[in-house]
């Protein structure tokens, strides 16, 4: 057996030592009719057989490196310096446990302290935790933190947040009897007037908004925060961390809580997981934040040391009165983000944002001029993601583009039927000029073929 160090002789010696005649004697408390169930599992594989099977499965997927990729929508195809991979693959980090015993875990604790500092700085807030599962769950738990703090049980969430976040928030809120109300979309951003009306009753715990919006546009975060605070509600901004390096961060705009999907910070797409959830808050919420927190302190000799702290918020101490049930978080992905940001620094993140945004603006302008195509929200400022209106159903256009090896973006009909002819298009520093050329060149044929398909289907 592949990973078992003890030989049959070791087993026999250990069985003899504990006074058991056979291994089943160790299981005598289990009723015998349950022991040794027939399992519908295949026979074991040797390592070479295993590698062959996994390689065959992997070959039946087409990774982003083999496409001209313009697909973002929550998972961004960014370059990852090799040193980030090398860091998180170190067994010291990969194979350790949550650092309960501080003296044996100082290195990892310091790394998480650095992560917390990095997230807090990016978001312009006082406090960040040691990570959440992903952007969606970070946003949901952040919103519930505001419910607990305000004692109000209604959440206002902008319809322009990521659709997966909206649905996860619904699931989290439903369990707690918290009412979720959507603030409608106006163009590519939140309807500010509707937000003010919904807030007017003074019953809402928090306003949740994404920056940029799911449709790529810049939200009026400052105005939404002010509107929320004027009615005693808190404000949560689900902010892209790379965007936060060039946009006025949530904390500077007065937000109480910021959350984010940390995948753009050095984490491969991996079909959407594992990534890392970022969660930051103001000092006032320090004792309400869910999850692990690392604190800096001293050891018995007075030297700087780190440990998990404020654990009385947590499930293993406080049980049903804990601020969250989170135990395992996404530490190794947080480490990847720390190494990525440590390598790039604030200036490097700004450059990533700058290059991504320049490519997007070039593409948006050029694509919008192709016959039949147009920018869906021409007046909305954006960074590197924008909505392209197509002369045919966007899903059909994307399908034709995929035949050319181009992932043209996300057809938005699955998100909002009003946007059925719209594609959410994303560029990054990995989107090369030849890729953009090919995208633009493929648009006319994709439109006519898509229209032809649509006509045939209509006739049927």
84-143 residues in contact with other proteins (CB under 8 A) are 85-108, 110-114, 116-118, 120-122, 124, 126-128, 130-131, 133-137
Q: Are strands 154-158 and 204-211 parallel, antiparallel or unpaired?
A: parallel
Q: Which is nearer to other proteins, 103 or 418 (CB)?
A: 103
- Under rule CB under 8 A, which residues in 375-394 are in contact with other proteins? 381-383
Distance CA 432, CA 97 (A): 40
Work out whether 370 is an interface residue with other proteins (CB under 8 A). Answer: no
- Sign of torsion over alpha carbons 310, 315, 318, 324: positive
- In angstroms, rounded to a whole number, what is the distance separating the alpha carbons of residues 103 and 109? 10
- Interacting residue with other proteins among 184, 193, 230, 325 (CB under 8 A): 325
- Using the rule CB under 8 A, is 417 a contact of other proteins? no
Closest CA relative to residue 116, chosen from 261, 247, 293: 293
- Which residues within the stretch 11-50 sit at the binding site for other proteins (CB under 8 A)? 11, 13-15, 17-18, 20, 23, 26-31, 34-37, 39-45, 47, 50
Closer to other proteins by CB, 300 or 456: give it: 300
Query: In the bound complex, what is the minimum distance in angstroms from residue 329's beta carbon to other proteins?
Result: 5
Q: Which stretches of 159-203 are assigned E, i.e. beta strand?
A: 179-183, 185-186, 189-190
**271/459 with CB nearer other proteins:** 271
- Contact between 131 and 291 under an 8 Å Cβ cutoff? The reply is yes
Q: Which is nearer to other proteins, 255 or 410 (CB)?
A: 410
CB of 100 to other proteins, least distance (A): 8
Cβ count near 320 (within 10 Å) = 6
The residue (of 8 and 201) whose beta carbon lies closer to other proteins is 8
- Return the range that interacts with other proteins (CB under 8 A); candidates 183-191, 193-201, 225-233, 337-345: 337-345
Question: How far is 336 from 333, CA to CA, in rounded Å?
Answer: 5
Q: Using the minimum distance from each CB to other proteins, give the nearer residue, 176 or 197.
A: 176
What residues numbered 420-439 form the site for other proteins, per CB under 8 A?
433, 436-437
Give the binding range for other proteins (CB under 8 A) out of 52-60, 188-196, 197-205, 225-233.
52-60
CA–CA separation, 110 and 369 (whole Å): 51
CB of 331 to other proteins, least distance (A): 4
Q: Which of residues 238-297 bind other proteins (CB under 8 A)?
A: 244-249, 252, 261, 268-274, 276, 286, 292-297
Residue choice 148, 180, 194, 322 for contact with other proteins (CB under 8 A): 322
CA atoms within 13 A on the CB side of 428: 21
Question: d(Cα 209, Cα 258) in Å, to the nearest integer?
Answer: 10
Task: Name the residue nearer to other proteins (CB basis): 159 or 363.
Answer: 363
339 contributes a contact to other proteins by CB under 8 A:
yes
Number of residues that bind other proteins (CB under 8 A): 205
Residue placing its CB nearer to other proteins in the complex, 197 or 299: 299
Our finding on whether 341 is near other proteins (CB under 8 A) is: yes
CB closer to other proteins, 98 vs 448: 98
Q: Which stretch binds other proteins (CB under 8 A): 183-191, 226-234, 402-410, 448-456?
A: 402-410
Q: Decide if 58 contacts 52 (C-beta within 8 A).
A: no
Residue 145 · residue 139 · CB < 8 Å: no
Give the integer Cα–Cα distance in Å for 100 and 84.
25
Q: CA 431, CA 435: separation in Å to the nearest integer?
A: 6
- Least Å distance, CB 400 to other proteins, is 12
Burial status of residue 126 (CB atoms within 10 A of its CB: 0-12, 13-18, 19 or more): middle
- 196 is an interface residue for other proteins by CB under 8 A: no
> According to the binding rule CB under 8 A, does residue 177 interact with other proteins?
yes
Q: Which stretch binds other proteins (CB under 8 A): 173-181, 191-199, 227-235, 369-377?
A: 173-181
Cα angle 107, 109, 111; round to 5: 70
Alpha-carbon span 427 to 360, nearest angstrom? 5
Nearest Cα neighbor of 322 from 332, 331, 311 is 311
């Amino acid at each position: 057996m592949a990973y078992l160090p003890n030989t049959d002789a070791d087993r026999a010696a250990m069985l003899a030592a504990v006074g058991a005649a056979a291994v089943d004697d160790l299981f005598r408390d289990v009723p015998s009719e349950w022991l040794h169930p027939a399992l519908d599992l295949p026979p074991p594989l040797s390592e070479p057989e295993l590698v062959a099977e996994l390689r065959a499965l992997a070959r039946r997927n087409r990774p982003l490196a083999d496409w001209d990729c313009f697909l973002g929508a929550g998972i961004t195809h960014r370059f990852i310096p090799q040193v980030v991979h090398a860091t998180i693959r170190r067994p010291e980090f990969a194979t350790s446990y949550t650092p309960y015993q501080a003296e044996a875990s100082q290195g990892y604790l310091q790394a998480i302290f650095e992560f917390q500092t990095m997230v807090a700085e990016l978001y312009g807030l006082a406090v960040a935790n040691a990570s959440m599962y992903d952007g969606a769950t970070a946003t949901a738990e952040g919103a519930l933190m505001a419910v607990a703090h305000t004692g109000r049980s209604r959440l206002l969430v902008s319809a322009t947040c990521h659709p997966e976040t909206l649905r996860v928030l619904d699931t989290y809120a439903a369990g707690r009897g918290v009412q979720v109300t959507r603030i409608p979309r106006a163009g590519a951003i939140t309807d500010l007037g509707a937000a003010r009306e919904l807030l007017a009753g003074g019953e809402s715990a928090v306003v949740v908004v994404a920056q940029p919006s799911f449709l790529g546009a810049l939200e009026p975060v400052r105005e939404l925060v002010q509107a929320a605070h004027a009615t005693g509600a808190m404000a949560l901004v689900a902010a892209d961390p790379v965007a936060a390096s060039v946009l006025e961060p949530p904390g500077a705009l007065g937000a109480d809580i910021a959350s984010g999907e940390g995948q753009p910070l050095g984490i491969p797409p991996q079909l959407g997981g594992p990534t890392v959830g970022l969660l930051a808050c103001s000092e006032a919420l320090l004792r309400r934040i869910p999850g692990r927190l690392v604190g800096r302190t001293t050891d018995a000799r007075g030297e700087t040391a780190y440990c998990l702290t404020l654990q009385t918020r947590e499930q293993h101490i406080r049980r049903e009165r804990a601020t969250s049930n989170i135990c395992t978080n996404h530490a190794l992905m947080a480490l990847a983000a720390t190494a990525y940001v440590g390598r790039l620094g604030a200036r490097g993140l700004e450059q990533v944002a700058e290059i991504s945004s320049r490519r997007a603006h070039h593409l948006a302008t050029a694509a919008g001029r192709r016959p039949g195509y147009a920018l869906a929200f021409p007046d909305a400022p954006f960074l590197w993601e924008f909505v392209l209106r197509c002369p045919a159903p966007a899903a059909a256009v994307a399908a034709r583009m995929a035949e050319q090896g181009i992932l043209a973006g996300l057809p938005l009909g699955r998100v909002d039927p009003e946007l059925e002819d719209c594609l959410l298009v994303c560029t990054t520093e990995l989107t090369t000029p030849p890729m953009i050329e090919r995208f633009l060149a493929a648009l006319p044929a994709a439109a006519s073929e898509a229209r032809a398909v649509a006509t045939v289907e209509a006739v049927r």
